[in-house]
Structure 1
């Protein structure tokens, strides 16, 4: 059977389908549990969670399913930002704050890397079966500690070189994330521009270069994308945008509506919201800030600076100032319960294989 792959066996799931760990409240416990109960792998997007919030989310998922699930963590980054750069960034954001009726508060964000290590301890304490990483490879001590507890580790790569580094570090599987993917890309080695490789080109090259199972990601929205990925050498797929519009998703209603009505030419790669390139639906904020993109501080500083702007816009129902991440294939997005989506995806693959056999 097509769904019996190296990845599905390692992850103990019926279908080699992983719901991406989308951070920022999209991956509710209800979504994660529903995906896992349907036979795929649900993933908590813990990137911006405190340790207590992650603990609560894990407990809620465990209350909703006894199937395997995972937690996605962001490997911390500590950029050096000068006071003058922060002042300039705040000055550029002040007109936006004014439009939203916010005070002109000039922030000096600080990055607390201790949260990442607290999250790791929570993953261990609550015996989460799978832990994936984005934005780099965690310290060797973290990898050894998790593997000693039997945690299955998944890395993220946007180039063959990054995939090889993930394998060498001890990852059990690696996501080959193509440039079609929505949200932030997992690039961490080399220049971002040179890592803009499409899924169809990236997956087979990664599959040829590493011995660990490869998980295809980026623009995969239906059975055609799943079967194509498996043919290209992947052992599973990771899907984000496809699950963003499900009933259990915690994405803002305006975000869901924007994705469901978007076309392939509406997404852009921008660092205006967070300081790190991410693919999303173009809106007023992106258009206003693009010309100043090179003046903005790197992730996560810019992300912290725009956090209250995004929260205020959400409360006001103003889509022009929301970060509406989306992959390049929004026309195939569906408004369904998560379990129904998983079953439809699997059914679509079955139909495709049946058609091929008939020819």
Structure 2
């Protein structure tokens, strides 16, 4: 039925739909539902301790006899820079005063751990069918050991140059992440987000540049988007924001409410939540401090200073100081269980392709 079966055969799945791994927004329940429906469910581990990741992987393996994608960040930890973090606290001091918080109190740490030996031990223990990375790839020895488990390795590329790099490093497939995508940009060979490329232009150029199969990502929220991805030469689509509307998503109530009222022109690429460019729904923090702030310390250090502000405002239903990750296609999304959504997306895509 599908015009390109390379991803289906590579991952051993039935539908060319990859549920985007969304750190903080999904756990094993969503991955199980998507994989059981025939797509590739994904478990994001960047915000999980190795112990918690083990629990979630155990849940998946007990609930589904299907392939799973386990995702990790592969950023390089920043060098200590107390000056930058102190300047960031000063930039946010007025908000602390507004909500009765002590601007001089130590900021909580921001935990987004890169792939390391502890996470590698999980991969070697559970042997997931797919291991994906964001922000490039881990060190060569770690990557070699991942491959020795038999896992298929994929990573995100935001430019043709990044896609070629991933192919040279023997990735089995490349995720072409267009500028429309929600959450963190996978950019890793540059830090200039002003020249990032949209999905429509990026996918066919990466398809032409590499021999491995390409997974289109960014702005895809219904069957029309999946059909368009195949028309551009992709072998599958990775979908994130649409799954945030499912009951399996672990987003906060304020985030869920913001998604329901999202508009195409109300998201922005911002670094104010983590120190790294990511697409969020525009809120007070983005409007008043960002979208891009030179004061924000490097990833992931910017997030710690926001924790007290989020704790002070979120119980009142406010999303003013929390990351509201969303792609530009949120208004196309529908509320339904993740398994049903996966099947519906596939059916819509096939119907669109049959109609030509």
Check conservation: 1:158, 1:195, Cα contact below 8 A.
Answer: no
Q: Specify whether residues 67 and 205 from structure 1 end up closer, same or farther in structure 2 by C-alpha distance, changes over 3 A only.
A: same
Determine which structure has the larger helix proportion and give its number: 1
CA contact (8 A) 1:78 1:111 kept: no
Q: Is the 8 A contact 1:89 1:297 kept in 2?
A: yes
- 1:67 and 1:14 map into 2 onto residues whose CA distance is 10
The 5 Å alignment of 1:28-67 reads 28-67=27-66
Unaligned ranges ≥5, structure 2: none
With over 3 angstroms needed to count, the CA separation of the structure-2 counterparts of 1:54 and 1:315, relative to structure 1, is: farther
Displacement of 1:246 in angstroms is 0.7
Evaluate the alpha carbon distance shift between residue 212 and residue 297 of structure 1 in structure 2; reply closer, same or farther with a 3 A threshold.
Answer: same
TM-score by length of 1: 0.93
Residue 189 of structure 2 corresponds to which residue in structure 1?
Answer: 189
Structure 2: how far apart are the matches of 1:112 and 1:196?
Answer: 24
CA distance in 2, matches of 1:17, 1:257: 26
TM-score (norm 2): 0.94
Number of the residue aligned with 1:79: 78
CA change 1:305–1:209 in 2 (3 A) is same
State the superposition RMSD in angstroms.
2.0
Contact 1:90 1:106 in 2 (8 A): no
| Pair 1:131–1:312, CA change in 2 (3 A) | farther
Deviation of residue 230 (structure 1)? 0.9
**Compared with structure 1, are the counterparts of its residues 310 and 212 closer, same or farther at alpha carbon in structure 2 (3 Å cutoff)?**
farther
Q: Name the residue aligned to 1:173.
A: 173
Matches within 5 A, 1:143-162: 143-162=143-162
**Structure 1 residue 93 corresponds to structure 2 residue 92:** yes
- What is the CA distance between 1:57 and its match in structure 2? 0.9
What is the CA–CA distance in structure 1 between the aligned matches of 2:348 and 2:160, rounded to whole Å? 30
Secondary structure in 1 matching 2:65: coil
Native 8 Å contact 2:272 2:291 kept in 1: no
Rate the CA distance shift 1:98–1:38 in 2: closer, same or farther, 3 A: farther
Q: Does 1:202 align with 2:206?
A: no
Structure 1 residues 207 and 66: alpha-carbon distance in aligned structure 2, compared to 1, 3 A threshold: same
